[in-house]
Every structure is written in structure tokens, then in C-alpha cells.
Amino acid sequence: MDARLTGRLRATPRRRAALLALVLGVLGVHGCVTRQLADRMGAFSVVPMPQRLQVAYVRELQPTAPVVIAAVPKPPPPPKRVARAAVASPEAVPPSEAAASAVPAEPAASEPVPDVVVAAVEPAASTPDAAASAPTPEPSPVAVDNAASAPAAFEWPGSTRLSYVLTGNFRGHVDGEAQVEWIRDGNRYQVNVDVIIGLSFAPTASRRLSSEGQLTADGLYPTRYDQLTHVMLRDDQRVAMQLLPDAVVLANGQRRIRWPGVQDTASQFVQLTWLFTTQPQKLRTGESVEIPLALPYRVEPWTYDVLEEETLYTTFGEVQAFRVKPRRQPRGGDLIPEMWIAPSMRYLPLRIRIHQDADTWVDLMIKRKPELAAS
């Protein structure tokens, strides 16, 4: 008995090694099959999250006077009767019209003659000699000021970081922090959105959104989007999209047509800032803008309505901001961001409220003045 027991004990390590090799072989085959399947689907979820570009922030953004948008005046109504203007030379009038113009028509007594018409039919007070000797009018100071204050060509701002205090609901009341970082490197950009619930060094949950692409005359041109979600005691969830010149490759590998001006969940914040900076008349109560949005599993147009102007009570004072809200309801896990955009702070979103569903939402309120990187 002792000899047989000793033999079994000696055989146990060999059996364990064989079992371990079998498990590793199965896992290896499974990994190869998974990788090949992902390649066939066109997804690149096995690619790690893009490396965050590093910049140094050296100063704070100071509020400036917002762009004043003058109301467009309504054109005056056209006059009911237009008298024929005086003709300087009779030879210029065709004979058929000379008799008709010999006696000017009198306006009806019930229809007063507009001043502009009276001025048109009065004899010219100036002669060629008088016109030549008339002094040249000085340019209006208002015209000079308007020319000096004409809007300059848009220039993409340098790297900017916005930090927020987070409150919300995720299986109960939650607190945390968030950050939106716009990084410019020549004609390349990166937008990083980080949302952290709980302590920063041991978060209960966190989500990072990252968008990369190019700067163009029509705004941002995203080429890649990544999203990483972490929940304590669960495996991390990762989705990624490629935005090719002729197609958008969704997180499940399906391809969709790339719409002109399409944005992703992260780049939309900066695209709206660019849009309102270049077209400030769009940031008015009652206006709306439309942006095609590439979500992880579909591409569709989103309409943003500009609602009322509100006062935000920040740590650095009161700031006026317009509330901008998508015209849709949360569905299928979509992130619906509602923004308060401040013209005096370079049209940046000082408050962001993100809904995922009725019971999951976070409210981000600016914590300090936006930070700017060195030029």
C-alpha cells in the first residue's frame, strides 16, 4: 500500500503539469480564434486605448465680453406710389414717353407722399460745378470702429482643460469629479473626457471617452473614438470606432456611410464650441443646430436646441450661459449631454449634465477657471 501511495503522489505533479498545459493550450486557441474573429469583423477592440497627449497648463482663462449680435432690422415697407424721377436731359427720354412725362402725376390726397419719394422728384440742388466743389465727407467714427472690430479669421485655440465637480445618481447618490481636455498638436487634436465616481485613486466607477482626428476649415474631423468603462468588481468594458474617409466602422464591426461633418460622443463638445464661435448668431434662444453623430452602434443626426439663457453661480463669480439640449430621449445606453455654454468664456461648456437613463445621470459643474497651456 505504501509503495502504491508513493507512486500516486509522485504522479500527481506530472498530472497537474499536463492539465495546466492543456488549459493553456485551450486558452491560446481561444485567443487566436477571438483575435481572428475581431479582425474579420473589422473591429480593433484589441488595440489599447490611445496614449494621452501630455501638455503643461500654465494660466487660467479670464472672462471676456461676449460677442454682441445686433438684431437684423426689418426692411421698411415699399411705397405705394413711386413718382418718376426728374430727367436731366430731354434727349434721353424716348419720344413715346416724353408726352407722358411732361405733366407729373399728382398723388391722391389720401396717400401722403413718402419723404424718399419727395426727395427723388425735387430738382437737383447741385450742378456739376457745385458737385466738384463740395467737400469730401469725413468717414464716420462708427464706420471706423466697426471696421476695426470686424471679426478676425477663426484660429483654433491652444490646449485647454476644464475641471468639474460631479454629483449624480448611480444606484444611489454619488459624488466625484470630471475633466474635459482639449489638446491641439499642430493640425492634430485629441479630446479626452474623464468621469470618475467616488475617490480618484479608488473609483467606484469611471468612464473615459477619447476622440482623435484632424482640424479642418469645417471643424473637427474625427478618425478614431475609444470608450473605456470601469465598474468596481466587474470587468472593464471597451468599445472603439474607426472613422474612415468613406465609412464609419462601428464597435461591432459594421460599416456605415460617413456623413459630412460627423462627430463622436467626445468631439461634439468641441465642435459645438467651434460652431458657436464662428456663428455666434446660432447661440440664441429658439435657434437649433444639427450635427451627425457616430455612436458606438449607429450613426444618426442629432438636433440641439438653444434654450433660455441662465446665470451660473461658479466659484469665480456669476457667468451667463445658454442651455443647449439635444432633441431626444435616452435610449439603448446612449449618453445624452445637456450643456450650458458661456459666450464670455470662449463658448466653453461650464456645466454638463449627462443622462444615460432615468436612474443614471451625472451633473458636472465647473470647479475652477479653464486652464490654458503655453502657446
pLDDT digits (tens, 9 = 90+) for 326-335: 998 766 667 7
The residue with cell 506530472 is 14
Distant-in-sequence, close-in-space partners of 246: CB < 8 Å, separation ≥ 6: 257, 258
Model-wide pTM > 0.75: no
* Nearest to 338, CA basis, from 320, 358, 324, 321: 324
Tell me whether strands 57-60 and 173-185 are parallel, antiparallel or unpaired.
Answer: unpaired
Tell whether the model's pLDDT for residue 247 goes beyond 50: yes
pLDDT of residue 75: 56
Residue 161 lies in a domain: yes
Cα–Cα distance list, 255 to 119, 249, 264, 294, 301 (Å)? 67, 5, 15, 11, 16
Tell whether the model's pLDDT for residue 68 goes beyond 90: no
CATH number of the domain that 184 lies in?
Answer: 2.50.20
Report the number of distinct structural domains present in the chain.
Answer: 1
| Better pLDDT: 145 or 340 | 340
Tell whether the model's pLDDT for residue 129 goes beyond 70: no
- In terms of residue numbers, what domain contains 345? 57-61+152-373
Report, as an integer, the average pLDDT of 32-45: 36
Residue 302 lies in a domain: yes
pLDDT of residue 65: 77
Contact by Cβ (8 Å): 194, 187: no
Phi and psi angles of residue 359, each rounded to the nearest 5 degrees, phi first: -110, 0
* Amino acid, single-letter form, for residue 1: M
Residue 112 lies in a domain: no
Tell whether the model's pLDDT for residue 98 goes beyond 50: no
Residue 105 lies in a domain: no
Residue 312 lies in a domain: yes
User: DSSP states of 114-150 as a string?
Assistant: PHHHHHHHSPPS--HHHHHHSPPPPPPHHHHHHHHTP
Residue 7 lies in a domain: no
> DSSP secondary-structure letter at 112?
P
Residue 156 lies in a domain: yes
Residue 18 lies in a domain: no
What is the total residue count of the chain? 375
Report, as an integer, the average pLDDT of 298-320: 96
Distant-in-sequence, close-in-space partners of 1: CB < 8 Å, separation ≥ 6: none
* Nearest to 299, CA basis, from 240, 253, 255, 354: 255
**Percent with pLDDT over 90 in the chain:** 53
Contact by Cβ (8 Å): 364, 166: yes
Contact by Cβ (8 Å): 324, 304: yes
C-alpha cell at 78: 415699399
> DSSP secondary-structure letter at 172?
S
